[in-house]
Amino acid sequence: MGIKTVAWTGRTMRCVDQTKLPERLVYIECRTPAAVWHALRRLAVRGAPAIGIAAAMGVVLGARRSRARSCEGFVKDVRRVARYLGSARPTAVNLFWALRRMVRVVETAATRNVRMLTRALEREAVCMIEEDNAVCRRIGIAGVRLLRVGDSVLTHCNAGGLATAEHGTALAVIFEAHARGKNIHVFVDETRPLLQGARLTAWELMRAGIHATLICDNMAARVMCEGRVDIVITGADRIAANGDTANKIGTYGLACLAAAHRVPFYIAAPLSTVDLQIASGADIPIEQRDPDEVRRIGSRWIAPRNVPVYNPAFDVTPARLIRGIITEEGIVRPPYRRNLATAVGKSTAAQGGCSL
């Protein structure tokens, strides 16, 4: 995409404020863990991989503010900051994966020097950015073979560069196909209620020069019925051990439509998004968002201000509806319980080891 969604400046976390797109490309700088927490909570930073990276940088910012003189006190401060940042969003497992990884740095370090521990945390956060870039490129290469010349892809929400450090997951496959001259067309679900498809995915695809058509969410069945969709590819926020997948609300309905119209449905996600500690999608916590996100668009009210609202941010797609999961270790196919565990075992990044 040519834009660094989340970056470390050496003193601050610099990120795109995604709430301002597509009207303006605005960057914000977070100098405290609280600033990172609020950026995550209000969706200035969103997308599972980007959330994890931002949280890691929030830990670094917290560590730098620690007044602890002993290693033990410093570790307690890091754990406290990690718990605080973990309260920002409950569903995306990359948040907790990144925070556990940062805490493990200080818990297992050979040094007991607070300054050196702080530097180690900073190196780990920067390492996550480099790992994410490499992983997303590999996801694109793994998934591109699913697309033929001239295929039409339907995607939901935003799983592009804005959801990661730079390159994307589901859109990484599309970017790679475009780079290879496959002349791909993309149907972009608007993705109510916050319009991440309309505001973010359409913006990314047009910026990349990829042919894209924006549709309302309730038009997906129509374009499938007309035979205009060859494949559906979406991202993921958490994947259970059995392959059940949580993603932006509306993904489950899209998977059902794809099954009804015999359109292959794929998930593209890094293996760090796989949560082997959760047996099935029934155990994935689903974030409930502010009712006003549904009652209005931007500052304009589109519904009575006191109408009751149900606003889950995510739904869960059963593994039986997923043809395959595109990862940095290739396309994982059923049986997911065995094959996901094997793939995670191969992935250094998923296990949380800095390889730089």
Q: How many domains does the chain have?
A: 2
DSSP characters for 141-182?
HHHGGG--TT-EEEE-S--SGGGSSSS-SHHHHHHHHHHTT-
Polymer length in residues for the chain: 356
Q: Say whether the peptide bond before residue 285 is cis (omega within 30 degrees of 0).
A: no
Model pLDDT, residue 180:
97
The Cα–Cα gap between 256 and 222 comes to 13
Domain finish residue from 117, 137, 157 = 137
Domain finish residue from 108, 137, 166 = 137
User: Which of 217, 256, 250 has the alpha carbon at shortest distance from 235?
Assistant: 250
**Do 188 and 121 share a structural domain?**
no
**Do 272 and 164 share a structural domain?**
yes
**Do 181 and 98 share a structural domain?**
no
Residue 237 bears catalytic tag? yes
Domain finish residue from 90, 122, 137 = 137
Identify whether 285 is part of a domain.
yes
Distance from the Cα of residue 237 to its chain's centroid: 6
Mean pLDDT value across residues 39-65: 96
Encode pLDDT of 296-331 as tens digits: 998 899 999 999 999 999 999 999 999 999 999 999
Mean pLDDT value across residues 12-39: 97
The answer, yes or no, to whether residue 351 has pLDDT greater than 70, is no
Cα-based distances in Å from 187 to 157, 223, 324: 11, 9, 20
**Do 337 and 193 share a structural domain?**
yes
Mean pLDDT value across residues 118-130: 96
Encode pLDDT of 65-97 as tens digits: 999 889 999 999 999 999 999 999 999 899 999
**Do 163 and 97 share a structural domain?**
no
69 Cβ partners below 8 Å, 6+ apart? 114
Encode pLDDT of 207-264 as tens digits: 999 999 999 999 999 999 999 999 999 999 999 999 999 999 999 999 999 999 999 9
**Do 132 and 103 share a structural domain?**
yes
Identify whether 175 is part of a domain.
yes
The answer, yes or no, to whether residue 353 has pLDDT greater than 70, is no
Encode pLDDT of 134-179 as tens digits: 999 999 999 999 999 999 999 999 999 999 999 999 999 999 999 9
Identify whether 1 is part of a domain.
no
> By three-state DSSP, how is residue 126 classified?
helix
> By three-state DSSP, how is residue 250 classified?
coil
Model pLDDT, residue 111:
83
**Do 131 and 60 share a structural domain?**
yes
Model pLDDT, residue 356:
31
Dihedral-angle region of residue 2 (phi above 0 means left; psi in -120 to 50 means alpha; beta otherwise): left
The residue annotated as part of the active site, out of 77, 132, 189, 237, is 237
Model pLDDT, residue 347:
83
Identify whether 64 is part of a domain.
yes
Identify whether 356 is part of a domain.
no
pLDDT interval class at 348 (50, 70, 90): low
Range of 266's domain? 140-351
Instruction: Please give the model's pTM, rounded to 2 decimal places.
Output: 0.94
Identify whether 96 is part of a domain.
yes
The enclosing domain of 132 has a CATH number of: 1.20.120.420
Beta bridge partner(s), residue 268: 326
The enclosing domain of 278 has a CATH number of: 3.40.50.10470
**Do 176 and 57 share a structural domain?**
no
Identify whether 54 is part of a domain.
yes
The mean predicted confidence, pLDDT, of the chain is: 95
**Do 312 and 181 share a structural domain?**
yes
Model pLDDT, residue 112:
84
**Do 268 and 191 share a structural domain?**
yes
Identify whether 205 is part of a domain.
yes
The answer, yes or no, to whether residue 355 has pLDDT greater than 80, is no
**Do 252 and 107 share a structural domain?**
no
**Do 87 and 202 share a structural domain?**
no
